[in-house]
Structure 1
Amino acid sequence: MGSSARKKKEKKKDFQKTKLKVGKAKQKADNVTDTSFRSKSITVNQQSLTTTAPSSFSQFSHYVSLASSSKSDTQRKDALSYLTTQLSSQPVNASMPLPTAILLPKLIPLILDGSPAVRSQLLKFLRLLPPAEVGDRAEQSLLYTRAGMTHLSAPIRVDALALLEWLLEVAQEDIVTCPGGWVKTLKSFMSMMGWASSSGSTKWTSASRASFGKAGKAFPRQIIMLAKFLQAGLVEESSESLTSTSNGLFPLCDVEVHMIPARSNAFAHLNLFGSSRDEEGEMYIDREERQRVFATKFQPAVMEGLENVKKEAGEAGRAAAILSKALREGMVDYSGIDDTQ
């Protein structure tokens, strides 16, 4: 009897409903995982264990690499901002962490960057570089400047003109005399402004100004920059300083001609050991040579374009007057005789 009553009681347990008390938590399952713990430390892969901070040179080099190779627009912009802050906060006579010969080839291609913030920060950084060290890299700087001037994006063309303006401010002579600096840059201007004249018997027409989209607002800026470029290459520099030097050493004459050249690689235009150059890639050291090339290849197209622009009123017409003045000053003493035959 005892055994039978115990079995009935156990069997009855299976059908009894458990009464839950108010405020009592539900019983946890047997396979529940406890997640109430907290980690007291975070482990990072490849964690640096050095006790000394990286040097300023290492940090500067790291941010230069980040600005030139990062795939993120924000990282490139922040890296350029850091470099700008470092250069602007240095003492006046302090040496740069990296020479300009290394910085320019790495950072100048960013003028073609698709982010406007990156290009704007690049222009701020370039203005902090020593002007005396920019002239040696004029050829490479102009290579990316011309690519920006003929870019399909209108904002990139505008920023490329700002870069050219800075180059003319710090290295005017090197810009107009470096290999390809005169003819190739003028061709980029003609193509950008739609003044390129078609050559040959083909029916292919040159690109007009309308092919670049919203070029109307930037067109006066392009005319003014062309005037500045022509003034740098065609207008003769003032010779007051040379006259005073000659008078001070009287009876000696033309002393400046016999002095050591101030520019590096003064005989580069002879191209003694380099590869052969065509007319576009030639160095035009003399002002007379630049006048001759401009008169034979570009002046007719520029004059025709000026006549069309002068008919327009407003800012474009005022810019055309500046260009006309630069042409008069630069070609006033040109004889028109080609003595190269």
Structure 2
Amino acid sequence: MGSSKPKLKVGKTKPKADNFTDTSFRAKSIVVNQQSLTTSAPSSSSQFAHYLSLASSSKSDTQRRDALSYLTTQLSSQPVNAAMLLPTSILLPKLLPLILDGSSAVRTQLLKFLRLLPPEDISDRAEQVLLYTRAGMTHLAAEIRVDAVTVLEWLLEVAKEDVVTCPGGWVKTLKSFMSMMGWAASSGSSKWTSASKASFGKTGKAFPRQVLVLAQFLKVGLVESESESHTAAGSGLFPLCDVARHMIPTRSNAFAHLNLFGSSRDEEGEMYIDREDRQRVFQKRFQVAVDVGVANAKKEAGEAGRAAAVLSKVLRDGMADYSGVDDTQ
């Protein structure tokens, strides 16, 4: 048998292809544009700011949630007396819109982060927090309304006095409650309020909680606090009369309710510093609707009935000493 291997002609090479590229050159270095190498890692504050930007502006629900989780971990791992990586005045304006976020995981993670902020930083910004909280309470999505009520509950824990005394904090928040719970007074010719929310589905489960948070809110605004009762008790001990009124104010911007340099406010946007003023406005605009709502909720029994009983007690304690005389007319 003959050999099957083809014979090559000596001295001739294989012709090069048409798309052949010569790679026989040698370069001393390769330069890549816009490349930066550094031996130092980014600082903690710059990383914190980066994740803050992701949490507030990312289009991905997962990225917003993970960025908030990072911020929460960094804030919780700091020493007790250590300064915050970024001040609350920068954090809140960027994160508060997430109260209205469409992702439940993002809203849950946001609440975990808010609970870590110093309470003294929240007091001066209660009006700003309430602006987004009220928007969430009247949102079309039931899940967002539920989480907004949770945010308000947290706010009442850390800055309860500021919640009811800041501009719009009393009347506007009560209007949001009335709208959310279906207790808003009808604008028609009928004398009865709009129908109460039916107790079924997600709305039914959330309704008792809404009643309880409303009770907390009204307790702060209507029921006399311990400090006020002590002041009233000692007001008749001559010469110690109205001592608290002559002390240095403990609130920042103590005369903000006078609105000396701001734009004019209506009844809804007014600051109601005195308990008597809050009682007057509540009796004038909301008490009838709340009483009807409480009566209807008691008929349902169960969780709604127990919550309504708590609210009813707050109303009795808060309005018991109100004379009902409107001296502003």
TM category (shorter chain) comes to 0.7 to 0.9
Aligned residues: 308
Identify which of 109, 118, 122 aligns with 2:97. Answer: 109
- The one-letter amino acid paired with 1:113 is D
Question: Aligned partners of 1:216 and 1:90: how far apart in 2?
Answer: 40
What is residue 273 of structure 1 aligned with on the other side?
Answer: 261
- When structure 1 is superposed on structure 2, of 292-301 and 49-58 the one drifting more is 49-58
CA contact (8 A) 2:196 2:293 kept: no
CA contact (8 A) 2:149 2:210 kept: yes
What is residue 57 of structure 2 aligned with on the other side?
Answer: 69
- The one-letter amino acid paired with 2:289 is A
CA contact (8 A) 2:199 2:207 kept: no
What is residue 274 of structure 2 aligned with on the other side?
Answer: 286
Identify which of 298, 303, 310 aligns with 2:291. Answer: 303
Identify which of 87, 109, 114 aligns with 1:99. Answer: 87
| Matches for 1:1-341 after TM superposition, within 5 Å | 46-199=34-187, 201=189, 206=194, 209-210=197-198, 214-239=202-227, 242=230, 252-341=240-329
What is residue 11 of structure 2 aligned with on the other side?
Answer: none
CA contact (8 A) 1:146 1:160 kept: yes
- The one-letter amino acid paired with 1:106 is K
Question: Aligned partners of 1:88 and 1:330: how far apart in 2?
Answer: 38
Question: Aligned partners of 1:83 and 1:153: how far apart in 2?
Answer: 27
Q: State the SS of the aligned residue for 1:305.
A: helix
Per-residue deviation, residues 207-259 of structure 1 (Å, max 9, x unmatched)? 75259974111110111011010001001101389569979x98544322111
Per-residue deviation, residues 52-72 of structure 1 (Å, max 9, x unmatched)? 111111111111111111111
CA contact (8 A) 2:199 2:205 kept: no
**Unmatched segments (≥5 aa) in structure 1:** 1-18, 22-28, 35-42
Percent same amino acid among aligned pairs?
78
> Structure 1 residues 311 and 263 mapped into 2: Cα distance closer, same or farther (>3 Å)?
same
Post-superposition offset of 1:271 = 0.7
Question: Aligned partners of 1:143 and 1:336: how far apart in 2?
Answer: 30
Question: Aligned partners of 1:245 and 1:311: how far apart in 2?
Answer: 39
CA contact (8 A) 2:182 2:195 kept: yes
> Structure 1 residues 44 and 276 mapped into 2: Cα distance closer, same or farther (>3 Å)?
farther
CA contact (8 A) 2:72 2:113 kept: yes
Q: State the SS of the aligned residue for 1:196.
A: coil
Post-superposition offset of 1:195 = 0.5
CA contact (8 A) 1:191 1:207 kept: no
Question: Aligned partners of 1:137 and 1:273: how far apart in 2?
Answer: 19
Query: What TM-score do the two structures reach when normalised by structure 2?
Result: 0.85
- When structure 1 is superposed on structure 2, of 45-54 and 93-102 the one drifting more is 45-54
> Structure 1 residues 63 and 207 mapped into 2: Cα distance closer, same or farther (>3 Å)?
farther
Question: Aligned partners of 2:79 and 2:37: how far apart in 1?
Answer: 33
Query: What TM-score do the two structures reach when normalised by structure 1?
Result: 0.82
CA contact (8 A) 1:67 1:80 kept: yes
Question: Aligned partners of 1:154 and 1:287: how far apart in 2?
Answer: 32
Query: In terms of Rg, which structure is larger?
Result: 1
Question: Aligned partners of 1:245 and 1:262: how far apart in 2?
Answer: 21
**Unmatched segments (≥5 aa) in structure 2:** 7-15, 22-30
CA contact (8 A) 1:154 1:213 kept: no
Q: State the SS of the aligned residue for 1:216.
A: helix
> Structure 1 residues 124 and 44 mapped into 2: Cα distance closer, same or farther (>3 Å)?
farther
CA contact (8 A) 1:150 1:192 kept: yes
